[in-house]
Chains A and B, each alone.
Chain A
């Protein structure tokens, strides 16, 4: 299987994640789109690592997954704190730093 197919697929998944971040208003869906983008980059790293026979790329993916888990935990805690104050997860309503 040619490696370029995997790279093109991860480009498409990354752009779907970018669209989710730019178009959606629900904070939780925006965080999920960020996860899609992280997964697209992980797919690129693993496919190149397997193609070149170098395990360092998969070690980097392992670390990226750990950081993504930490990011999800902190991000969702911020969402809970915002929801308790504002009673909404609509980012057009959350503008604490605007003024």
Chain B
């Protein structure tokens, strides 16, 4: 019962924060709304008993990635872009397209939810979300992808440095 109230609270705050990111004119305000959204998703992972992913979410997303975003925004010293003078046709079309995607996703979820197997018991879910279970799979069955992700992060670091040094026309 408590988990149910917690889910609706976190879900409403997450959607409001995402809309705040979408609608605020200042990029710093957008980034702060996005940090609230990421923390809410970490809380939702906790309501699913996925402790390891919740901790990683706070560390990697709300910590590392958002610090990078805020650092770049403040480095570039951005002001808000001037507002559009009129609503153009392309934006209206984009809005209609996005609502179509939403309707399609909602329809698919509503259709597919009956085909799902019954959810496992709570203590099995707690066991499934613990760091030990994930580490056991990660370092045996998925050891090769793990090493490749390490190489990917190295390449991304070198690529980021090279791009930031280059000058575009």
Contact = CB atoms under 8 A, between A and B. Distances in A.
A24 to B, nearest CB: 7
- Give the dominant DSSP class at B's interface: helix
Interface of B: 3-4, 7, 11, 14-15, 18-19, 21-22, 27, 30-31, 34, 37-38, 41, 44-45, 47-50, 52-53, 56-57, 60-61, 64-65, 68-69, 72-73, 75-76, 78, 81, 91, 94-95, 97-99, 101-102, 105-106, 109-110, 113, 116-117, 119-120, 124-125, 128-129, 133-134, 136-138, 142, 145, 149, 152-153, 155-157, 159-164, 166-169
Contact of A65 (B44, B61, B76): B61
Given A39-B38, A51-B116, A55-B137, 20 more contacts: A5-B7, A9-B14, A11-B105, A14-B105, A25-B81, A29-B30, A32-B34, A36-B18, A36-B37, A53-B128, A54-B128, A55-B136, A58-B128, A58-B129, A58-B134, A59-B134, A66-B60, A77-B164, A79-B72, A86-B168
Contacts, number: 225
Give the size category of A's interface with B: 35 or more
